[in-house]
């Protein structure tokens, strides 16, 4: 691939850095306060979802996909069966057809992309000198890259649009036994496998659009002159199909179809897994997914709090950076201080959110928070005093 780069050096005075740091305090305070909202909302969400799943696991009943009983209407049901469609599914633009439930078109375009690499050095007196290298290369991308935002757009222009977008097509009449699947459950079917295009299909698409379209070795459609030597604007289109097969469903039965089942005011349940799973296995998998999401959002909330505190205290290290070495030491100290504050505060927020619902879980977390605070304070007292 072709590569080129441009290097730019910029300078920032000490007073300008202080102004930016003061401005960053406002954003840091907002980030810090929002972290409490994220952490508390996440714990409430996790608790409600866990209670919803626990209640659902006690109510769910097993039914047969081949027998629809009116007495099950309005109940939370579990069934397994083969998901099938009334006919094939097609891509109307390129004419690719598959005997499947869904067909997905993934489009990539050959484009210029910009990467940045910066190195910042502090200067005596508190100023900064930043050297940024903008590198340009050609690569495949599934999204449109706006070259007008490049540092050097000249000579690196990308098309303003794609001739075709990525899209998913759904077959008509998807059903499991005697039950029709609603769109919400069809959207959960994602067992895609490659569906290679053929040379004959490429020829038909080329004739339809009067364009250079051929099939690659891997079965993708190539819109351009030479797949071995791509040019800016060329398209590479791959297809994947979700075939008919076994599915397992937990949802509310409504006539001959399904809908999300409401558990009081807690939440709703509507699950679909490709394959054959018992109701217990499906609820267990959903509980594990809820736990994983909870920990991810906890990390997000903690990082929001940490970075907010770093931005709030950054002005101290900027002031101290009149002497670069001293500024680095102060910056490291404020960073450790932000960590020492963010960790126990995050734990306390999580524990308080759980206290009303799960005290046996909340108490150990509160103890861990207190222990971290005590440790931080003891370390601070033992630190050597400056002469």
Q: List pLDDT tens digits, range 253-276.
A: 999 999 999 998 889 999 999 999
Q: What is the predicted pLDDT for the residue at 16?
A: 82
Q: How many contiguous H segments (helices) and E segments (strands) does the chain have?
A: 6, 19
Of the candidates 247, 290, 297, the one whose C-alpha atom is nearest the C-alpha of residue 266 is 290
Contacts of 249 (CB under 8 A, 6+ apart): 77, 78, 79, 80, 176, 185, 258, 271, 272
211 and 132 belong to one structural domain: yes
149 and 223 belong to one structural domain: yes
Q: What is the predicted pLDDT for the residue at 383?
A: 47
174 and 258 belong to one structural domain: yes
Consecutive H or E run containing 84: strand 76-84
Consecutive H or E run containing 222: strand 221-223
Q: What is the predicted pLDDT for the residue at 130?
A: 87
Domain residue limits at 83:
60-277
65 and 49 belong to one structural domain: no
Domain-located, residue 22: yes
190 and 235 belong to one structural domain: yes
191 and 143 belong to one structural domain: yes
Domain-located, residue 5: no
| 116-125, 196-205, 331-340: which is most confident | 196-205
Q: What is the predicted pLDDT for the residue at 205?
A: 95
The token pair at 135 is 């590198």
238 and 340 belong to one structural domain: no
pTM assigned to the model: 0.82
| 49-58, 126-135, 373-382: which is most confident | 49-58
Domain-located, residue 2: no
Give the pLDDT band (50/70/90) at residue 60: very high
Number of domains in the chain: 2
The mean-pLDDT minimum among 46-50, 116-120, 374-378, 382-386 falls in: 382-386
The mean-pLDDT minimum among 34-43, 65-74, 272-281, 372-381 falls in: 372-381
**Rounded Cα gap, residues 149 and 159, in angstroms:** 13
83 and 209 belong to one structural domain: yes
Give the pLDDT band (50/70/90) at residue 386: very low
**Rounded Cα gap, residues 308 and 26, in angstroms:** 9
The answer, yes or no, to whether residue 348 has pLDDT greater than 90, is no
For 125-134, write each residue's pLDDT tens digit: 777 888 999 9
Q: Considering 242, 277, 312, which residue would you say is the last residue of a domain?
A: 277
Q: What is the predicted pLDDT for the residue at 281?
A: 97
304 and 262 belong to one structural domain: no
Domain-located, residue 7: no
Domain-located, residue 28: yes
């Amino acid at each position: 691939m072709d590569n080129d780069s441009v290097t730019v050096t910029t300078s920032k005075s000490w007073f300008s850095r202080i102004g930016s740091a003061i401005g960053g305090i406002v954003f840091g305070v907002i980030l810090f306060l929002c972290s409490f909202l994220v952490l508390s909302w996440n714990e409430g969400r996790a608790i409600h979802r866990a209670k919803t799943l626990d209640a659902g696991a006690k109510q769910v009943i097993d039914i047969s996909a081949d027998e629809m009983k009116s007495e099950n209407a309005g109940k939370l049901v579990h069934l397994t069966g083969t998901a099938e469609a009334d006919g094939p599914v097609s891509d109307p633009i390129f004419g690719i057809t598959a005997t499947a439930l869904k067909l997905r078109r993934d489009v990539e375009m050959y484009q210029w992309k910009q990467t940045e690499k910066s190195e910042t050095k502090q200067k005596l007196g508190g100023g900064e000198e930043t050297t940024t290298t903008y590198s340009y290369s050609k690569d495949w991308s599934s999204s449109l890259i706006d070259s007008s935002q490049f540092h050097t757009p000249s000579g690196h222009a990308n098309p303003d649009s794609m001739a075709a977008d990525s899209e998913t097509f759904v077959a008509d009449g998807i059903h499991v036994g005697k039950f029709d699947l609603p769109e919400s459950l069809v959207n959960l079917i994602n067992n895609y496998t490659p569906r290679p295009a053929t040379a004959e299909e490429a020829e038909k698409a080329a004739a339809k659009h009067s364009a250079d379209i051929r099939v690659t070795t891997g079965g993708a459609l190539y819109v351009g002159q030479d797949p071995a030597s791509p040019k800016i604007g060329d398209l590479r289109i791959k297809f994947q199909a979700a075939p008919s097969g076994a599915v397992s469903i937990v949802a509310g039965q409504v006539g001959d179809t399904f809908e999300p089942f409401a558990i009081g005011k807690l939440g709703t349940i509507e699950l679909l897994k490709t394959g054959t799973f018992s109701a217990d296995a499906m609820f267990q998998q959903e509980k594990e997914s809820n736990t994983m999401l909870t920990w991810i959002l906890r990390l997000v909330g903690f990082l929001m709090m940490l970075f907010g505190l770093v931005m709030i205290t950054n002005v101290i290290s900027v002031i101290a950076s009149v002497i670069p070495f001293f500024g680095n030491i102060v910056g490291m100290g404020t960073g450790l201080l932000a960590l020492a504050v963010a960790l126990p505060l995050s734990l306390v927020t999580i524990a308080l959110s759980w206290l009303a619902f799960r005290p046996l879980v909340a108490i150990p977390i509160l103890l861990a928070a207190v222990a971290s605070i005590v440790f931080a304070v003891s370390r601070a007292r033992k630190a050597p005093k400056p002469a």
